[in-house]
């Protein structure tokens, strides 16, 4: 080899050493199915590897907390429906509990039981959406159809109960707007019987599917320290191995009367806190919700569904209070301030999806783009609740 050729060879090697990749910024959303709503993720990538993720929110902001200052305490209930529009009854429940505690009112027993039944039906409906769309993110189309089939039965019950299929406005301060229809208990138990038979079917179809496990096990691991740092709650926290649930650990309504377990991640298919664990927590929570519903229906008493002294305009005594309840996404908190009038002085909402979403900035770097899609899907966020 000539000296010139040798020189060219060394020069070529030096050039290769100096070559380096340039990070590319990609917008995932806000019009993108994998963002589960009007969310924009600014992703910095080197090829298929994620180097950074920034969540840009606010596309669904509607000034709900400010609007509360112009509504009376009852009127604002309808706005809570719009927070988590996949589980609006859980939003109604949290706000109602907060105002009732400020008032010191006793909700009738029948209303409490119907509230729990509706909240657990709504939890199942929300988890069905989470599971079905998560499977779709992973390339599985059929589970979504199965999940919508069962969810349709829940919506039929809630439609007969309240008149609405998506936004119900059924709960009221001090109880319910009106009593359940004739045959409500029969319809609920018929659904529970069906649902308990279908859960093993979902496990066969998706949970223990080899491809699904490979896409979700050891992917998007969120450990306990990260959950605590970001304020994660609900299935995200329980997926990290912590069996914390407001229904059990900080009971409200009549949840302390029912027997149910709190599913949590155990690293069954991979690492504790991975996408599969978060998914499986929701699967097992649906079965526990069926247990609660059965107990509530069996103990359902007669009587009124609204506190007698709350049939007129509500005026809340001066003070402030923070109340947390367990929605399908995690801990929904209402921090309300009253000046003694018929309207809230200030209402602050603690959104579980807001905290759960921003953990993506911590766990995203280092994973592949396809795993980022899996991780976002496993968080089960809803933007109406985040932006408000």
Please give the residue range of the domain that contains residue 327: 26-387
State the pLDDT at residue 23.
Answer: 87
pLDDT at position 17 over 70:
no
Exposure string of 107-144, with b = 16+ CB inside 10 Å and e = fewer, is bbbbbbbbbbbbbbbbbbbbbbbbbbbbbbbbebeebb
Q: What is the share, in percent, of the chain residues with pLDDT greater than 70?
A: 94
Alpha-carbon distance of 115 to 254, in angstroms, equals 10
**Position 326 in a domain:** yes
State the pLDDT at residue 181.
Answer: 92
pLDDT at position 20 over 80:
no
Which residue, among 346, 330, 336, has the nearest Cα to 382 in the 3D structure? 330
Stretch 201-227: mean pLDDT, rounded? 92
**Position 2 in a domain:** no
State the pLDDT at residue 166.
Answer: 87
Q: Residue 165: pLDDT band by 50, 70, 90 thresholds?
A: confident
**Position 337 in a domain:** yes
Q: Residue 3: pLDDT band by 50, 70, 90 thresholds?
A: very low
Q: Residue 308: pLDDT band by 50, 70, 90 thresholds?
A: confident
Could you read off the pLDDT of 91-131 as tens digits, one per residue?
999 999 999 999 888 899 999 999 999 999 999 999 999 99
Q: What is the share, in percent, of the chain residues with pLDDT greater than 90?
A: 69
**Position 72 in a domain:** yes
Token readout for 131 is 């599971």
- In sequence order, the 6+-apart residues with CB closer than 8 A to the CB of 366 are 49, 50
Q: Residue 372: pLDDT band by 50, 70, 90 thresholds?
A: very high
What end-to-end distance do the CA atoms of the chain give, in Å? 71
State the pLDDT at residue 194.
Answer: 92
Stretch 333-356: mean pLDDT, rounded? 92
State the pLDDT at residue 164.
Answer: 87
Give me the residue label for tokens 């049939």: 311
Q: Per the structure, how many domains does the chain have?
A: 1
**Position 6 in a domain:** no
**Position 377 in a domain:** yes
For the whole model, what pTM was predicted?
0.91
Instruction: Say whether the peptide bond before residue 92 is cis (omega within 30 degrees of 0).
Output: no
309 touches 107 (CB < 8 A): no
Alpha-carbon distance of 25 to 54, in angstroms, equals 11
Which residue, among 254, 252, 248, 231, has the nearest Cα to 264 in the 3D structure? 248
CATH number of the domain within which 294 lies: 1.10.645.10
Q: In what order do the strands lie in the sheet with 346-350?
A: 319-326, 331-338, 346-350
58 touches 387 (CB < 8 A): yes
**Position 263 in a domain:** yes
Q: Residue 307: pLDDT band by 50, 70, 90 thresholds?
A: confident
Could you read off the pLDDT of 135-147 as tens digits, one per residue?
998 988 998 999 9
State the pLDDT at residue 8.
Answer: 47
Could you read off the pLDDT of 175-187 as tens digits, one per residue?
999 999 999 999 9
Q: What is the DSSP string of 28-80?
A: E-SS-GGGSSS-EEEEEEETTEEEEEEEE--TT---HHHHGGGS-TTTTHHHH
**Position 4 in a domain:** no
């Amino acid at each position: 080899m000539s000296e010139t050729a040798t020189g060219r060879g060394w020069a070529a090697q030096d050039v290769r050493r100096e070559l380096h990749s340039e990070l590319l910024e990609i917008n995932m959303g806000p019009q993108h199915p994998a963002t589960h709503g009007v969310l924009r993720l600014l992703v910095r990538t080197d090829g298929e590897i994620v180097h950074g993720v920034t969540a840009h929110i606010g596309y669904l902001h509607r000034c709900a907390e400010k609007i509360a200052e112009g509504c009376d305490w009852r009127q604002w209930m309808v706005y809570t429906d719009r927070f988590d529009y996949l589980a609006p009854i859980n939003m109604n429940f949290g706000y109602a509990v907060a105002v009732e505690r400020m008032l010191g009112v006793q909700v009738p027993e029948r209303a409490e039981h119907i509230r729990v039944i509706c909240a657990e039906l709504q939890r199942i409906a929300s988890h069905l959406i989470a599971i079905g769309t998560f499977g779709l993110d992973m390339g599985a189309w059929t589970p979504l159809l199965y999940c919508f089939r069962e969810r349709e039965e829940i919506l039929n019950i809630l439609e007969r109960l309240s008149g609405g299929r998506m936004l119900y406005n059924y709960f009221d301060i001090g109880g319910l707007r009106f009593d359940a229809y004739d045959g409500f208990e029969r319809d609920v138990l018929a659904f529970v019987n069906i649902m308990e038979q279908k859960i093993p079917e979902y496990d066969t179809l998706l949970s223990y599917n080899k491809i699904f496990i490979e896409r979700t096990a050891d992917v998007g691991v969120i450990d306990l320290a990260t959950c605590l740092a970001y304020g994660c709650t609900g299935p995200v926290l329980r997926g990290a191995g912590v069996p914390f649930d407001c229904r059990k650990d900080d009971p409200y309504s009549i949840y302390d009367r029912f027997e149910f377990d709190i599913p949590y991640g155990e690293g069954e298919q991979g690492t504790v806190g991975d996408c599969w664990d978060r998914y499986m927590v929701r699967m097992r929570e649906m079965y526990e919700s069926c247990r609660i519903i059965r107990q509530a229906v069996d103990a359902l008493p007669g009587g009124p569904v609204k506190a007698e002294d709350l049939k007129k305009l509500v005026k809340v005594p001066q003070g402030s209070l923070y109340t947390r309840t367990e929605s399908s996404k995690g801990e929904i908190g209402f921090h309300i301030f009253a000046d003694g009038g018929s309207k809230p002085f200030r209402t602050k909402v603690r959104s579980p999806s807001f905290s759960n979403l921003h953990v993506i900035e911590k766990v995203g770097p280092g994973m592949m783009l396809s795993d980022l899609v899996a991780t976002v899907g496993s968080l089960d966020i809803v933007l109406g609740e985040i932006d408000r």
